[in-house]
């Protein structure tokens, strides 16, 4: 009886190896320790081992890391985990909230191009998605950890995401310096096709210019550039804090209130706005609704503010600017009556007759 107890334990060496692989041990390793099929099934029955998939067991409750690593082992020599799981296992936990619902249960495993695999995990809610690599991901992968390069993983993940989600994810990765923009671009150019190539190029090049949030990216590409607004300085200290945008000649600061904007920040922002006002600085705040929901109206606000404060230029009308922006613009500097916050006022005609 005592002998049986002994044989039902893993050697410290094997346990140690398993822990370095998210708890994973193979059928062959258990065999080598004399843990026969009968003993194994008893160990599974009493919870000492968990059956993970064909020929694979875990020495603790399987984690996402266990399932991922198991997929790579079943994928065979040279295979590696990709997609969301590669990013998480590279230590980028902050992306978890960006994952589409259910994505944590589908693990991408890249196999060499000539390999065709299909196997189910021993958990009906999990799935291994074996994909054949034709873009050299595996040559760049780490075979010690069985993970593709984080840049390849990020590119693959972005390929299937809606535009706004790509912006949010990439902004986070860039802000946290989890990826190298130059390497991402190089790998992107090496791909024959990528559904988000244009957007990724724009995001990465803007990152190099100091555009630090997804909202700011949208502002530059949908508000500032199409309406030919002058380019502000970015992240310059204005009064007590750096401004997201800064027009020094017009003493106009622009701030973006992004997804992370909370009520408790309002007090602080009001204080900052007041301190700046005392210095003669005007501060405009824009949210996602302003930038994505009404880019043309937002552009007209900025243009009007700049003109009031000495800018001799005027905004250009983009292809989708509402027609009424045109009629007013040609007669006079933009008046407050046209701003989206007061859509009910129609005093512009009287104003022009004056
Ligand atoms: Zn427009």
Q: How far is residue 224's CA from residue 232's CA, in Å, rounded to a whole number? A: 9
Rounded to the nearest angstrom, the distance between the alpha carbon of 19 and the centre of ligand 1 is 57
Predicted local confidence at residue 275, as pLDDT = 94
Task: Classify residue 281 by burial, with Cβ atoms within 10 Å: 0-12, 13-18, 19+.
Answer: buried
What b/e sequence results for 103-116 when a residue is b if at least 16 CB atoms lie within 10 Å of its CB, and e otherwise? beeebbbbbeeeee
Structure tokens at 353: 């007759």
Rounded to the nearest angstrom, the distance between the alpha carbon of 184 and the centre of ligand 1 is 31
Rounded to the nearest angstrom, the distance between the alpha carbon of 316 and the centre of ligand 1 is 8
Ion ligand 1 — residues with CB under 5 Å? 296, 318, 321
Q: Strand, coil or helix: what is 57?
A: strand
CATH code for 214-353? 3.40.960.10
Rounded to the nearest angstrom, the distance between the alpha carbon of 266 and the centre of ligand 1 is 29
Element (H, E) at 210: none
Predicted local confidence at residue 18, as pLDDT = 95
Picking from 247, 241, 340, the residue whose alpha carbon sits closest to that of residue 296 is 340
Q: How far is residue 312's CA from residue 323's CA, in Å, rounded to a whole number? A: 22
Q: How far is residue 237's CA from residue 63's CA, in Å, rounded to a whole number? A: 45
Query: Judging by DSSP bridges, how do beta strands 56-58 and 106-112 pair with one another?
Result: unpaired
**pLDDT (tens place) for every residue of the chain, 354 residues total:** 444 444 578 899 999 999 999 999 999 999 999 898 889 989 999 999 999 999 999 999 999 999 999 999 999 999 999 999 999 999 998 888 889 999 999 999 999 999 999 999 999 999 999 999 999 999 999 999 999 999 999 999 999 898 878 888 887 888 788 999 899 999 999 999 999 998 888 778 766 665 556 678 889 999 999 999 999 998 899 998 889 999 999 999 999 875 444 445 667 788 999 999 999 999 999 977 788 778 999 999 999 999 999 999 999 999 889 866 544 444 444 444 444 444 444 444 444 443
Rounded to the nearest angstrom, the distance between the alpha carbon of 320 and the centre of ligand 1 is 5
Rounded to the nearest angstrom, the distance between the alpha carbon of 342 and the centre of ligand 1 is 18
Sign of CA dihedral 320, 321, 324, 329: negative
Rounded to the nearest angstrom, the distance between the alpha carbon of 166 and the centre of ligand 1 is 23
Q: In sequence order, which ranges of the chain are alpha helices (DSSP H)?
A: 2-7, 12-19, 27-32, 37-45, 64-75, 83-89, 150-159, 163-175, 181-189, 197-208, 214-218, 264-278, 288, 295-308, 323-329, 348-353
Rounded to the nearest angstrom, the distance between the alpha carbon of 308 and the centre of ligand 1 is 20
Rounded to 5 degrees, what are φ and ψ at 187? Answer: -70, -35
DSSP assigned state of 138: G
Rounded to the nearest angstrom, the distance between the alpha carbon of 84 and the centre of ligand 1 is 36
Rounded to the nearest angstrom, the distance between the alpha carbon of 209 and the centre of ligand 1 is 23
Rounded to the nearest angstrom, the distance between the alpha carbon of 295 and the centre of ligand 1 is 6
Rounded to the nearest angstrom, the distance between the alpha carbon of 317 and the centre of ligand 1 is 5
Rounded to the nearest angstrom, the distance between the alpha carbon of 292 and the centre of ligand 1 is 11
Predicted local confidence at residue 260, as pLDDT = 44
* Residue-range domain boundaries for the chain: 1-62, 64-208, 214-353
Q: In the chain, what's the furthest Cα-to-Cα distance?
A: 105
Predicted local confidence at residue 209, as pLDDT = 61
Predicted local confidence at residue 111, as pLDDT = 98
Predicted local confidence at residue 186, as pLDDT = 94
């Amino acid at each position: 009886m005592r002998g049986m107890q002994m044989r039902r334990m893993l050697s410290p060496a094997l346990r140690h190896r398993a822990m370095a692989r998210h708890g994973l041990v193979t059928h062959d390793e258990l065999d080598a320790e004399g843990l026969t099929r009968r003993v194994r099934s008893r160990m599974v029955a009493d919870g000492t081992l968990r059956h993970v998939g064909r020929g694979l067991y875990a020495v603790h409750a399987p984690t996402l890391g266990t399932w991922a690593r198991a997929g790579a082992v079943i994928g065979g020599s040279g295979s590696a985990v990709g997609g969301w799981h590669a990013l998480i296992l590279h230590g980028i936990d902050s992306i978890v909230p960006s994952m589409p619902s259910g994505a944590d249960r589908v693990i991408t495993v890249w196999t060499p191009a000539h390999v065709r695999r299909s196997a189910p995990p021993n958990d009906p809610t999990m799935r291994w998605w074996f994909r054949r690599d034709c873009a050299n991901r595996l040559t760049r992968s780490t075979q010690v950890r069985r993970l593709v390069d984080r840049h390849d993983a990020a590119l693959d993940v972005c390929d299937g995401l809606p535009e706004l989600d790509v912006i949010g994810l990439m902004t986070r990765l860039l802000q946290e310096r989890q990826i190298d923009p130059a390497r991402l671009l190089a790998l992107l150019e090496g791909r024959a096709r990528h559904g988000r190539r244009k957007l990724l190029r724009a995001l990465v090049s803007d990152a190099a210019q100091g555009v630090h949030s997804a909202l700011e990216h949208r502002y530059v590409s949908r508000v500032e550039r199409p309406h030919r607004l002058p380019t502000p300085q970015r992240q310059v200290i204005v009064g007590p804090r750096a401004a997201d945008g800064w027009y020094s000649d017009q003493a106009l600061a622009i701030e973006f209130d992004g997804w992370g904007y909370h009520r408790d920040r309002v007090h602080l922002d009001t204080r900052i706005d007041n301190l700046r006002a005392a210095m003669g600085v005007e501060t405009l705040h824009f949210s996602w609704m302003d930038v994505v929901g009404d880019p043309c109206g937002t552009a007209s606000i900025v243009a009007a503010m700049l003109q009031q404060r000495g800018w001799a230029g005027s905004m250009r009308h983009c292809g989708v600017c509402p027609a009424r922006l045109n009629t007013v613009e040609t007669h006079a500097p933009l008046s407050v009556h046209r701003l989206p916050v007061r859509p009910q006022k129609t005093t512009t005609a009287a104003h022009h007759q004056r």
